[in-house]
């Protein structure tokens, strides 16, 4: 009897020790939520849905997109920071995640998240209106030395704003920033000549450039766009080191088990290689990436330092 009791005790102890491992290995056991802190139908929403559809197939669980727009992405991101870190809530963040701490008083910080994967890059093109007598970057800068230039953006602190401010700084010309609420009025005023230029994704303006209604002078990425090989990079146009782009990445609340984070990251790296994802991303102006958590952490850190410098040197404020 004593031997049997000891055996049963040891067996139950082993079962208890194994239980957490079994539960964790079963992840995911229910639908996963990804918070997108931007409006439905926008570029960030589109990219998130394309990637999460493929990820859902790999994980064999539904992935639900929850749009929580507002305050340059800070409302939804703040909600994600407060979510239970059980591996069932994630958030899509943009390059704004590295910008916002230098402009806003936030209810969260980077310490409230763990990086998962850098999902995609969004390079910007420099578009100018046809009334400006410049066909390349050199001619634009020469024109800007004696003429007033304005540049549009979707708001103070946006990637387009900081890219324009940095360009004016390195080119040594004065440019006036004109913030807008949305891309539609920007395009309208750019076509009408009420604003000189904009750093914008390829999706909408390039169609007008192909019709001869706008000029596309350069791209801000390290490489030329696959389907627009005639448009040089900012570096090729004479601005060495000028690589600025928005990006979309996945984060999780602090405390999310590392095994889950690593599983998500590994699957996202594979999803980024999917031909269908690549094709859909290209149509939306994105380039699929896929990265480890450590690589995303380094991107956020380096971008935060870079944007902080631009904000301080240009005295940019949301007040």
pLDDT 10s digits, 291-309? 999 999 999 999 999 999 9
Reading the block at residue 53, the tokens are: 């559809």
Q: Tell me what pLDDT residue 26 has.
A: 86
Q: What residues have CB less than 8 Å from 147, skipping those under 6 apart?
A: none
pLDDT, tens digit, 9 for 90 and up, residues 195-213: 999 999 998 899 999 999 9
Half-sphere exposure of 40 (CA within 13 A, CB side): 4
Query: What is the arithmetic mean of pLDDT over 165-177?
Result: 96
pLDDT, tens digit, 9 for 90 and up, residues 254-282: 999 999 999 999 999 999 999 999 999 99
Average pLDDT along the chain: 91
Query: What is the arithmetic mean of pLDDT over 202-231?
Result: 95
Q: How confident is the model at residue 32 (pLDDT cuts 50, 70, 90)?
A: very high
Give the whole-angstrom CA distance, residue 128 versus residue 191.
9
- The domains found in the chain, sorted by start residue, are 32-122+245-313 (3.40.190.150), 125-219 (3.40.190.10)
Query: What CA dihedral angle connects 289, 290, 293 and 295, to 10 degrees?
Result: -30
| DSSP per position, the chain | -HHHHHHHHHHHHHHHHHHHHHHHHT---S-EEEEE-S-TTSHHHHHHHHHHHHHHHHHTS-EEEEE---GGGHHHHHHHHTS--SSSEEEEEETHHHHGGGTS--S--GGGEEEEEEEEEEE-EEEEETTS--SSHHHHHHHHTTS-EEEEESSTTSHHHHHHHHHHHHHT--EEEEE-SSHHHHHHHHHHTSS-EEEE-STTHHHHHHTTSEEEEEESSSS--TT-TTSPBTTTTT-TT---EEEEEEEEETT--HHHHHHHHHHHHHHTT-HHHHHHHHHHT-EE----HHHHHHHHHHHHHHHHHHHHHTT----
Q: How confident is the model at residue 181 (pLDDT cuts 50, 70, 90)?
A: confident
Higher-confidence residue of 11 and 102: namely 102
Q: Tell me what pLDDT residue 25 has.
A: 54
User: How would you classify residue 60: left for phi > 0, otherwise alpha for psi between -120 and 50, otherwise beta?
Assistant: left
- Over 90: is that where the pLDDT of 22 sits? no
Beta bridge partners, 216, equal 127
Give the whole-angstrom CA distance, residue 260 versus residue 116.
9
Beta bridge partners, 287, equal 121
Asked which of 70-79, 145-154, 243-252 is least confident by mean pLDDT, the reply is 70-79
- Over 90: is that where the pLDDT of 71 sits? no
- Over 90: is that where the pLDDT of 183 sits? no
Beta bridge partners, 125, equal 200, 219
Contact between residue 68 and residue 237 where contact means Cβ atoms under 8 Å apart: no
The number of residues making up the chain comes to 319
- Over 90: is that where the pLDDT of 12 sits? no
Percent of the chain with pLDDT over 90: 82
Q: Tell me what pLDDT residue 9 has.
A: 45
∠169-173-174 over CA atoms, to 5°? 95
Asked which of 36-45, 109-118, 170-179, 206-215 is least confident by mean pLDDT, the reply is 36-45
Asked which of 8-17, 53-62, 118-127, 147-156 is least confident by mean pLDDT, the reply is 8-17
């Amino acid at each position: 009897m004593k031997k049997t009791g000891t055996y049963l005790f040891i067996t139950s102890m082993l079962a208890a020790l194994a239980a957490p491992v079994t539960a964790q290995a079963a992840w995911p056991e229910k639908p996963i939520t990804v918070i997108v802190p931007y409006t439905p139908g926008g570029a960030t929403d589109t990219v998130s849905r394309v990637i999460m559809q493929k990820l859902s197939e790999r994980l064999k669980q539904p992935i639900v997109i929850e749009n929580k727009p507002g305050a340059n992405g800070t409302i939804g991101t703040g909600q994600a920071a407060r979510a239970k870190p059980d591996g069932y809530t994630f958030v899509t963040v943009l390059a704004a995640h590295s910008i916002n701490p230098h402009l806003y008083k936030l209810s969260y910080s980077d310490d409230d998240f763990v990086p998962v994967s850098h999902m995609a890059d969004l390079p910007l093109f420099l578009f100018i209106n046809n009334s400006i007598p410049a066909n390349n970057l050199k001619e634009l800068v020469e024109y800007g030395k004696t003429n007033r230039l304005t540049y549009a953006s979707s708001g103070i602190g946006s990637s387009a704003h900081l890219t324009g401010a940095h360009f004016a700084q390195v080119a040594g010309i004065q440019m006036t920033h004109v913030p807008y609420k949305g891309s539609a009025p920007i395009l309208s005023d750019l076509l009408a000549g009420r604003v000189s230029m904009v750093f914008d994704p390829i999706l909408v303006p390039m169609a007008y450039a192909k019709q001869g209604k706008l000029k596309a002078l350069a791209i801000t990425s390290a490489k030329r766009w696959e389907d627009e090989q005639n448009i040089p990079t900012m570096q090729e146009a004479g601005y060495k080191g000028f690589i600025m782009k928005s990006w979309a990445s996945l984060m999780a609340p602090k405390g999310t088990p590392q095994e889950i984070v690593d599983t998500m990251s590994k699957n996202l790296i594979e999803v980024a290689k999917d031909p269908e994802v690549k094709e859909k991303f290209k149509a939306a102006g994105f380039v699929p990436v896929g990265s480890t958590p450590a690589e995303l952490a380094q991107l956020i850190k380096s971008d935060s330092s870079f944007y902080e410098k631009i904000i301080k040197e240009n005295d940019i404020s949301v007040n």
